[in-house]
Amino acid sequence: MSDEVNSSGAALVEQGDDPADGWFPESVAAGYDGPGGANAPEVVTPAVDVLEDLADGPVLEFAVGTGRIAAPLAARGVRVSGIELSRAMAARIASKPGGDAVDVTIGDMTSTRVVGQFSLVYLVFNTISNVTTQDAQVDVFRNAAAHLRPGGLFLVEVGLPDLRRLPPGQDTVPFTVAPGHEGGGYVGFDQYDVVTQEFTSNHITVSPDGIGRFRRIPFRYAWPAEMDLMARIAGMKPKYRWADWDRSELTADSTKHVSVWEKDQALGALG
Ligand SMILES: C[S@@+](CC[C@H](N)C(=O)[O-])C[C@H]1O[C@@H](n2cnc3c(N)ncnc32)[C@H](O)[C@@H]1O
């Protein structure tokens, strides 16, 4: 069954999906690990290299998903735990090389606690933006700090909002427009509310016979400086800020950042 669209414009889950799995139910999880894209070795390996380098003991991935990053990191001998909202996503971790060593807790990264003190907590692939209020994003930073030992690190990888591509009076930025060779095609666009910092990513797929599918996923963006304040509220201070996993310098033209904060040496485990 195709997605239906409710009155708020959000896509409803497909038949067989568990609403408790949020935006990543079975119908999404089933296609998440396809080859290429975010699963390509040239995308995964640089991230795992940096995380392995920063790890100095057990690590915790917030929103661990299907173990795209956690499983190969565990395969290198790092002790990896994960928190994940979607059972459908988490169910796929154990089948990957290294994945059976990942200790997964189903829960919300704004509040779920797992046992242990970690050298590194990390949250990659834009997922801080899946948390759609400032308060809840602060809770993510607080929860990260609560899991870190003094001097431990919190790493976030997230895209920068494309606001410089918004002409005056417009709120929408297309990121892919791809007509199909046989008809139909795909259009993807982000729609921004620059007052609330909420935005949606919208995906319209039309089959060659003209049948459409619309998915609309809510996000909230926060500038790196706002994240520095969130980190400070949580007892952490900036340590590294890169434009990508290659540790290149962040510039005005960067499209994403990889930022790392360090928990204050004087703070023990919180909360
Ligand atoms: C884009 S995927 C990233 C998964 C994995 N980190 C990766 O890099 O492939 C986003 C994941 O975040 C999970 N997620 C979203 N909000 C969450 C929350 N508040 N707590 C825990 N997991 C969450 C989703 O269920 C989904 O598996």
Sheet holding 198-206, edge to edge: 172-179, 185-193, 198-206, 212-220
Residue 199: which CATH number? Answer: 2.20.25
Do residue 202 and residue 228 come from a single domain? no
Residue 2 has what pLDDT?
Answer: 30
Structural domain contains residue 27: no
Residue 266 has what pLDDT?
Answer: 79
Structural domain contains residue 186: yes
Burial 195-234 (b: 16+ CB within 10 A, else e): eebbbbbbbebbeeeeeebbbbbebbbbeeeebbebbeeb
Q: CB of 83 within 8 A of CB of 111?
A: no
Structural domain contains residue 151: yes
Do residue 139 and residue 206 come from a single domain? no
Pocket flag, ligand 1, residue 131 (CB < 6 Å): yes
Pocket flag, ligand 1, residue 60 (CB < 6 Å): no
pTM of the model as a whole: 0.92
Cα distance between residue 266 and residue 120, in whole Å: 17
Task: Judge whether residue 188 has pLDDT over 60.
Answer: yes
Ligand 1 centroid, distance to 223 Cα (angstroms): 20
Do residue 138 and residue 116 come from a single domain? yes
Pocket flag, ligand 1, residue 48 (CB < 6 Å): no
Task: Judge whether residue 1 has pLDDT over 60.
Answer: no
Beta-ladder partners of 106: 84
Residue 265 has what pLDDT?
Answer: 85
Instruction: Kindly give the pairing relationship between strand 80-84 and strand 103-106.
Output: parallel
- Mean residue pLDDT across the chain: 93
Structural domain contains residue 1: no
Task: Out of 50, 130, 219, give the residue to mutate to test ligand 1, the one with the largest number of ligand atoms within 8 Å of its CB.
Answer: 130
Structural domain contains residue 270: no
Do residue 63 and residue 114 come from a single domain? yes
Q: CB of 96 within 8 A of CB of 70?
A: no
Which residues form the domain of 201?
162-220
Q: Which atom of ligand 1 is nearest to the CA of 63?
A: 22
Pocket flag, ligand 1, residue 85 (CB < 6 Å): yes
Confidence of residue 268 (pLDDT cuts 50, 70, 90): low
Do residue 36 and residue 83 come from a single domain? yes
Cα end-to-end distance, the chain, whole Å: 44
Ligand 1 centroid, distance to 210 Cα (angstroms): 32
Q: Which atom of ligand 1 is nearest to the CA of 140?
A: 19
Pocket flag, ligand 1, residue 64 (CB < 6 Å): yes
Task: Out of 68, 92, 96, 127, give the residue to mutate to test ligand 1, the one with the largest number of ligand atoms within 8 Å of its CB.
Answer: 127
Q: What's the pLDDT tens digit per position in 135-186? A: 999 999 999 999 999 999 999 999 999 999 999 999 999 999 999 999 999 9
Ligand 1 centroid, distance to 74 Cα (angstroms): 18
Pocket flag, ligand 1, residue 202 (CB < 6 Å): no
Do residue 87 and residue 172 come from a single domain? no
Ligand 1 centroid, distance to 123 Cα (angstroms): 8
Question: Atom 27 of ligand 1 has which residue's CA nearest to it?
Answer: 65
Confidence of residue 12 (pLDDT cuts 50, 70, 90): very low
Q: What's the pLDDT tens digit per position in 201-234? A: 999 999 999 999 999 999 999 999 999 999 999 9
How many domains does the chain contain in total?
Answer: 2
Structural domain contains residue 138: yes
Cα distance between residue 39 and residue 213, in whole Å: 24
Structural domain contains residue 61: yes
Do residue 135 and residue 84 come from a single domain? yes
Residue 257: which CATH number? Answer: 3.40.50.150
Do residue 60 and residue 128 come from a single domain? yes
Residue 267 has what pLDDT?
Answer: 67
Burial of 266 (0-12, 13-18, 19+ CB in 10 A): exposed
Beta-ladder partners of 156: 123, 259
Q: Among residues 158, 150, 110, 159, which one has the least CA distance to residue 237?
A: 150
Task: Out of 23, 44, 86, 131, give the residue to mutate to test ligand 1, the one with the largest number of ligand atoms within 8 Å of its CB.
Answer: 86
Do residue 146 and residue 39 come from a single domain? yes
Q: What's the pLDDT tens digit per position in 95-113? A: 999 999 999 999 999 999 9
Confidence of residue 16 (pLDDT cuts 50, 70, 90): confident
Confidence of residue 13 (pLDDT cuts 50, 70, 90): low
Q: What's the pLDDT tens digit per position in 48-96? A: 999 999 999 999 999 999 999 999 999 999 999 999 999 999 999 999 9
Pocket flag, ligand 1, residue 71 (CB < 6 Å): no
Structural domain contains residue 15: no
Do residue 237 and residue 148 come from a single domain? yes
Task: Judge whether residue 243 has pLDDT over 80.
Answer: yes
Do residue 141 and residue 47 come from a single domain? yes
